[in-house]
Structure 1
Amino acid sequence: MTTTTTTTTNRARTGIAPQRVHALAAAERARYAAANPRSRALAAQAARHLMFGVPLHWMNDWSTPFPLHVDHARGARLVDVDGHARIDFCLGDTGAMFGHSPPAVTAALQAQAARGLTTMLASADAAAVSALLAERFGLPHWQFAMTATDANRFVLRWLRAATGRRVLLVFNGCYHGTVDDVFVDLVNGRPVQRDSLLGQVHDLTATTRVVEFNDLAALEAALAPGDVACVLAEPVMTNIGMVLPQPGFWERAIDLIHRHGARLVMDETHTISSGPGGYARAHGLTPDAVVIGKPLGGGMPCAAYGFSAELAALAEAAKRSAPPGHSGIGTTLTANLLAMAAMRATLSTLMTPEVYAALHARCTRLAEGLRAVIAQRGLPWCVTQVGARCEFQFCATPPRNGSEAGAAMDADLEQAIHLALLNRGVMITPFHNMMLVCPDTTDADVAALLAAFDEILAELTG
Structure 2
Amino acid sequence: MNAPFVASEQGGIDPARVTALRAEAEALYLGTRPKTRAAAGAAAHLFEGVPMHWMSDWSTPVPLVVAEATGARLVDIDGNTYDDFCLGDTAALFGHGPAPVRRALIEQAARGLATMLPSPDAAIVGDLLAARFGLAKWQIATTASDANRFAIRAARAATGRPRILVFDGAYHGAVDETFVELDRAGRPANKAGLVGEPRDLSELTRVAPFNDLAAVEAALADGSVACVITEPVMTNCAMVLPQAGFHEGLRELTRRHGTLLLIDETHTLSTGPGGYTRAHWLEPDLFVVGKAIAGGVPAAVWGMSDEVVARLNAARASVPPGHSGIGTTLSGSPLQLAALRATLEEVATQAAYARMNATADAMQAGLDAVIAKAALPWHVARCGARVEVVRAPRPLRNGAEAKAAHFGALEATIHLAMLVRGTLISPFHDMMLASPPTTMDQVERMGRAMDEVLGRLAG
Q: Please, what TM-score do these two structures have when normalized by structure 1?
A: 0.97
CA contact (8 A) 2:412 2:427 kept: yes
1:271 counterpart residue number: 268
Local SS of the residue matching 1:225: coil
1:146 counterpart residue number: 142
Q: 2:403 is matched by which residue type in structure 1? A: G
2:64 counterpart residue number: 68
Distance in 2, matches of 1:40 and 1:214, equals: 45
Distance in 1, matches of 2:79 and 2:14, equals: 34
Distance in 1, matches of 2:105 and 2:457, equals: 46
1:398 counterpart residue number: 395
Once the two structures are TM-superposed, the CA of residue 123 in structure 1 deviates from its matched residue by 1.5
2:282 counterpart residue number: 285
- The question of 1:97 aligning with 2:93 is answered yes
- The question of 1:128 aligning with 2:118 is answered no
1:428 counterpart residue number: 425
CA contact (8 A) 1:74 1:99 kept: yes
Once the two structures are TM-superposed, the CA of residue 15 in structure 1 deviates from its matched residue by 3.1
- The question of 1:185 aligning with 2:195 is answered no
Once the two structures are TM-superposed, the CA of residue 212 in structure 1 deviates from its matched residue by 0.2
1:58 counterpart residue number: 54
1:437 counterpart residue number: 434
Pairwise mapping of residues 136-285 of structure 1 onto structure 2 (< 5 A)? Answer: 136-187=132-183, 188-285=185-282
2:305 counterpart residue number: 308
Once the two structures are TM-superposed, the CA of residue 211 in structure 1 deviates from its matched residue by 0.5
Local SS of the residue matching 1:142: strand
Query: Could you report, residue by residue, the CA deviation over 1:43-92 in whole angstroms, capped at 9, with x for unpaired residues?
Result: 1000x101111111100110000000010110001000000110000000
- The question of 1:324 aligning with 2:325 is answered no
Query: Could you report, residue by residue, the CA deviation over 1:173-215 in whole angstroms, capped at 9, with x for unpaired residues?
Result: 1100000000111012111111321111222111100010000
Local SS of the residue matching 2:226: strand
Once the two structures are TM-superposed, the CA of residue 155 in structure 1 deviates from its matched residue by 0.7
Once the two structures are TM-superposed, the CA of residue 106 in structure 1 deviates from its matched residue by 0.3
Q: 2:329 is matched by which residue type in structure 1? A: T
Distance in 2, matches of 1:365 and 1:290, equals: 31
Equivalent of 1:380 in 377, 381, 395: 377
1:461 counterpart residue number: 458
Q: 2:104 is matched by which residue type in structure 1? A: A
Once the two structures are TM-superposed, the CA of residue 99 in structure 1 deviates from its matched residue by 0.4
Unaligned runs of 5+ in 2: 1-6
Query: Could you report, residue by residue, the CA deviation over 1:347-371 in whole angstroms, capped at 9, with x for unpaired residues?
Result: 0012221211111111011011101
RMSD in angstroms over aligned alpha carbons? 1.0
Distance in 1, matches of 2:240 and 2:452, equals: 28
Equivalent of 1:412 in 409, 412, 433: 409
312-321 or 345-354: which moved more?
A: 312-321
CA contact (8 A) 2:35 2:77 kept: yes
Local SS of the residue matching 2:135: coil
CA contact (8 A) 1:269 1:293 kept: yes
1:3 counterpart residue number: none
CA contact (8 A) 1:296 1:303 kept: yes
Local SS of the residue matching 2:446: helix
CA contact (8 A) 1:266 1:291 kept: yes
Local SS of the residue matching 1:230: strand
CA contact (8 A) 2:58 2:427 kept: yes
CA contact (8 A) 2:101 2:339 kept: yes
Q: Please, what TM-score do these two structures have when normalized by structure 2?
A: 0.97
Q: 1:135 is matched by which residue type in structure 2? A: A
Distance in 2, matches of 1:166 and 1:159, equals: 9
2:112 counterpart residue number: 116
Distance in 1, matches of 2:120 and 2:200, equals: 43
- The question of 1:294 aligning with 2:286 is answered no
Q: 2:98 is matched by which residue type in structure 1? A: P
CA contact (8 A) 2:189 2:200 kept: no
Distance in 1, matches of 2:317 and 2:247, equals: 33
168-177 or 15-24: which moved more?
A: 15-24
1:24 counterpart residue number: 21
2:81 counterpart residue number: 85
How many residues get paired? Answer: 452
CA contact (8 A) 2:272 2:384 kept: yes
Equivalent of 1:352 in 345, 349, 353: 349
Local SS of the residue matching 1:291: strand
Local SS of the residue matching 1:31: helix
Q: 2:429 is matched by which residue type in structure 1? A: H
196-205 or 48-57: which moved more?
A: 196-205
CA contact (8 A) 1:364 1:385 kept: no
Q: 2:325 is matched by which residue type in structure 1? A: G
Q: 1:283 is matched by which residue type in structure 2? A: H
Distance in 2, matches of 1:169 and 1:447, equals: 42
Local SS of the residue matching 1:231: strand
Local SS of the residue matching 2:166: strand
Local SS of the residue matching 1:333: coil
Distance in 2, matches of 1:404 and 1:21, equals: 23
Query: Could you report, residue by residue, the CA deviation over 1:323-356 in whole angstroms, capped at 9, with x for unpaired residues?
Result: 1111111111111111110000000012221211
68-77 or 315-324: which moved more?
A: 315-324
1:37 counterpart residue number: 34
